[in-house]
Amino acid sequence: MDLSLFALSGKRALITGSSQGIGFALAQGLQTAGAQVVLNGRDTGKLAAAADTLGGAETLAFDATDHAAVKEAINRFEGATGPIDILINNAGMQHRTALEDFPADAFERLLQTNIASVFHVGQACARHMIERGAGKIINIASVQTALARPGIAPYTATKGAVANLTKGMATDWAAKGLQCNAIAPGYFDTPLNAALVADADFSAWLEKRTPAGRWGQVEELVGAAIFLASDASSFVNGHTLFVDGGITASL
């Protein structure tokens, strides 16, 4: 087997929401595979610290929910620095409240952060990728793309939308040379899940519910990201790859 199919040398990858958690782990993994990584977030201090940790990483601060700001930042970066070959739409948030009490403003924030940002950044990068006839877009979905739990119905809706927007991206852009896919993580030990990790009852339930019998570690998402970012996935389009320890495979 030609393992050079998985090499990312000479490629530049932008990862949104990458100063910590899953985004940072994916940036670190893609860098190890040879990519030049570009970290994104709104907090320039956190971005600088993350870039220092990686050593040699570039940063591009913008609010992924602001369409005009996204377009300006991507166009400026492409013109001044060079092409973005790989995009990972990772920016996301969570809000846990019973659906009957869910605040309307929190629902709107979830829509903007979890799904509108995928459209904004995806479109801005795709326009340049289409001109080059090549590009990789990886959207971060969730186990909640396929399943629901009490208290997070709006989050579940946004992650279902991510999978369908991924299919739409592939349908519109595959013929233009792009591969657009999604990764759906299961339950991972991240800052977003800190409250759940600290909940002994929830962790015990999760370990019984998941065939692998444990929480995932963010490093276990890297292989899927490298596959979808590399030439190894040249004919994979519109797919959502679940990395969840088997939780969506069993009752």
pLDDT tens digits, 30-48: 999 999 999 999 999 999 9
Residue 110, in any domain of the structure: yes
Cα–Cα–Cα angle for 47, 216, 224, nearest 5°? 70
155 is catalytic: yes
Cα–Cα–Cα angle for 231, 83, 167, nearest 5°? 55
Residue 8, in any domain of the structure: yes
Residue 17, in any domain of the structure: yes
- d(CA 107, CA 175) in angstroms, rounded, equals 35
pLDDT of residue 38: 98
Q: Which of 62, 155, 215, 242 is catalytic?
A: 155
Residue 21's CATH number: 3.40.50.720
Contact 18, 90 (CB under 8 A): yes
Contact 7, 33 (CB under 8 A): yes
pLDDT of residue 110: 98
- d(CA 116, CA 241) in angstroms, rounded, equals 21
pLDDT of residue 251: 87
Residue 249, in any domain of the structure: no
The 3-state DSSP class for residue 87 equals: strand
The 3-state DSSP class for residue 15 equals: strand
- d(CA 139, CA 19) in angstroms, rounded, equals 17
Residue 247, in any domain of the structure: no
Q: First CA to last CA across the chain, in angstroms?
A: 36
- H/E stretch holding 127 reads helix 117-132
- H/E stretch holding 227 reads helix 222-229
Residues of the chain with pLDDT under 70: 1
pLDDT of residue 192: 77
Residue 56, in any domain of the structure: yes
pLDDT of residue 1: 60
Whole-model pTM?
0.97
Q: Which of 88, 66, 73 is nearest to 17 (CA)?
A: 88
> Domain of 76?
3-242
Residue 248, in any domain of the structure: no
Q: Note the Cα 192 to chain centre separation in Å.
A: 13
**Domain count along the chain:** 1
Dihedral class, residue 89 (left if φ above 0, else alpha if ψ from -120 to 50, else beta): beta
pLDDT of residue 96: 94
Residue 82, in any domain of the structure: yes
Each residue of 190-216: pLDDT tens digit? 887 888 899 999 999 999 999 999 999
